[in-house]
Structure 1
Amino acid sequence: MKNRLRLPSLSSFGTSWSAKGRVAVLAAAVVALLLLAGVVAVLSGNGDDHRAPQTAAPAPASSPSASETAPEPSSGSGSVPEPPQIAEPVAYARAAAQMLWSYDTRDTSRDQQLAGMRAWMTTETKYADWASVSGQVPDPVLWSRMADQDQHATASVTEGHYPSAFKQALADDPSAITEAYIYVVTVNGKQQIAWEKGGGGTEERAVTLAVQCRPNQDCALAAIAPSVTQ
């Protein structure tokens, strides 16, 4: 890109997952809820294209490895905020989306960005899909080029909600969620991107997150989930 380089769009993430990967990400409890809601196609990988509307540039061709681990730099996590102490799924998802859509290459290295994002993840490895989150961060070369342009972004969230299919499935079988306590939340908002010499722009953003909120515990991010339904 001649004028700017930006983080990959979250709106198109998850469209190329395998059926096995999709089921593993949302865990047994969430899979059951989605199946009850009649969205088997999202998780079964039947070959249909469930791509969300393209409102931003696609992910760069060179992306981080799915097995990439988050570094723990001694200098901290730069501009990435610490996870809030929130026990309500939609509120936590809103905060997580704002974090995912924000970055500042002027004072935050790629390693710091990853380390800061990792802090938002659930510590229950059975349900954590770190690859879906770390995959939003460009590779080292692209991050470096973004930093050369002083590129940074802030975000605002307009709303967050449970997709209708998830709400219906939860109403039909409330006990289905009690194994993993993972909730599916769709968040909408805007991202304001800026770079050197006064360049900038605003783009619409939408993401569906899997958030774990066990009773009497703060919530944590489990994954960036496939789009379910609005």
Structure 2
Amino acid sequence: MPKRHFKRPRTPRFAALTSKTASWSMNRRLAAGIAVLAVLAGAAGLTAYLTASTDKPAGSPPPASTSSSPSPTASTDVEDSASVPKPPSTHDPVEFAKAAAGALWSYNARRTTQPQHLAGLKAWMTTESKYTDWDSVASQVPDPTLWSRMHDNGQYATAKIAEGHMPQAFTKALGDNPGAITEAYVYVVTVSGKQSIAWRGGGAGAEGRAITLAVQCRPDRHCALSGVSPRVAP
């Protein structure tokens, strides 16, 4: 059988759909995201890092990292699943962020409703309201109308994670003030990988993705998601 060439789907891809739903609030999210992550960091040095990290556009891929080997949870395949996977039980913020990125880049509009998908992602969030930016996570998901169009098109996506790392500026700021993390225990992690999308009729495509996440990992409990940074950090 000849190799199928990529063609643009009749229904916009997930990335295109989310850009429409998020574009109107981008300026608000940029300001809110910086403020939320500054609170999560809890120190002047980390606040300066988070503000500086917004200089790069959200779609810019981070540079290569030495931590490039995928973890067992780094690949999220929802083709045969109707719900968002459960968060892993780990105390490692990088491993958790890689799994969380896989969950954010995966969906199954064929079998899951938009509210069900949001409920699945909600389970990844920290229960500490002071350190939760749910809006930044929910904004990654298309609204119910667009989700319905994706459902009609039989659309689903899977994710392959390439690597995850704490940005150098974050680790330096943390090294300069190690006590800063002990209030919120929120870490900044950048993850890169690939999202593969398929739809009814055999159509398919793939694109590189990158995202920066705030992950809370207290010593006495497993990691949880705090929010999505509005920009990708180096």
Structure 2 matches for 1:63-212, cutoff 5 A? 78-212=82-216
> Match for 1:40: what amino acid?
T
- Among all aligned residue pairs of Structure 1 and Structure 2, give the percentage whose two residues are the same amino acid: 52
Structure 2 matches for 1:18-37, cutoff 5 A? 18-30=30-42, 32-37=44-49
| 2:74 paired residue number | none
Ranges of 4+ aligned residues in structure 1 off by more than 6 Å:
9-14
Q: 1:165-191: per-residue Cα shift (whole Å, max 9, x none)?
A: 101101111111110000000000000
In 2: Cα distance, 1:24 partner to 1:53 partner: 20
| Residue 53 in structure 1 maps to residue 59 in structure 2 | yes
> Match for 1:225: what amino acid?
S
- Structure 1 residue 84: deviation in Å? 1.2
| 2:12 paired residue number | 5
Q: Secondary structure at the match of 2:91?
A: coil
Q: More helix by proportion, 1 or 2?
A: 2
- Structure 1 residue 3: deviation in Å? 1.7
Return 5+ residue gaps in structure 2 as ranges. Answer: 1-7, 62-80
Q: Secondary structure at the match of 2:175?
A: helix
In 2: Cα distance, 1:100 partner to 1:22 partner: 20
- Structure 1 residue 35: deviation in Å? 3.3
In 1: Cα distance, 2:190 partner to 2:33 partner: 20
- Structure 1 residue 19: deviation in Å? 3.3
| Residue 220 in structure 1 maps to residue 231 in structure 2 | no
TM-score (norm 1): 0.79
- Structure 1 residue 229: deviation in Å? 2.9
Q: Secondary structure at the match of 2:183?
A: coil
TM-score (norm 2): 0.78
Q: Secondary structure at the match of 2:222?
A: coil
Q: 1:28-50: per-residue Cα shift (whole Å, max 9, x none)?
A: 5356343354x53457xxxxx64
> Match for 2:47: what amino acid?
L
- Structure 1 residue 147: deviation in Å? 0.4
- Residues 1:188 and 1:21: Cα distance change in structure 2 (over 3 Å): closer
- Check whether the contact 1:26–1:225 (CA below 8 A) recurs between aligned residues: no
- Structure 1 residue 148: deviation in Å? 0.4
Q: 1:111-138: per-residue Cα shift (whole Å, max 9, x none)?
A: 1100000000000001100000011111
Q: Secondary structure at the match of 2:174?
A: helix
- Structure 1 residue 79: deviation in Å? 2.0
- Check whether the contact 2:216–2:223 (CA below 8 A) recurs between aligned residues: yes
Q: 1:49-90: per-residue Cα shift (whole Å, max 9, x none)?
A: 6423379xxxxxxxxxxxxxxxxxxxxx93211111111000
- Check whether the contact 1:159–1:188 (CA below 8 A) recurs between aligned residues: yes
- Structure 1 residue 18: deviation in Å? 4.8
Q: Secondary structure at the match of 1:126?
A: helix
> Match for 2:122: what amino acid?
R
- Structure 1 residue 139: deviation in Å? 1.0
- Check whether the contact 1:5–1:142 (CA below 8 A) recurs between aligned residues: no
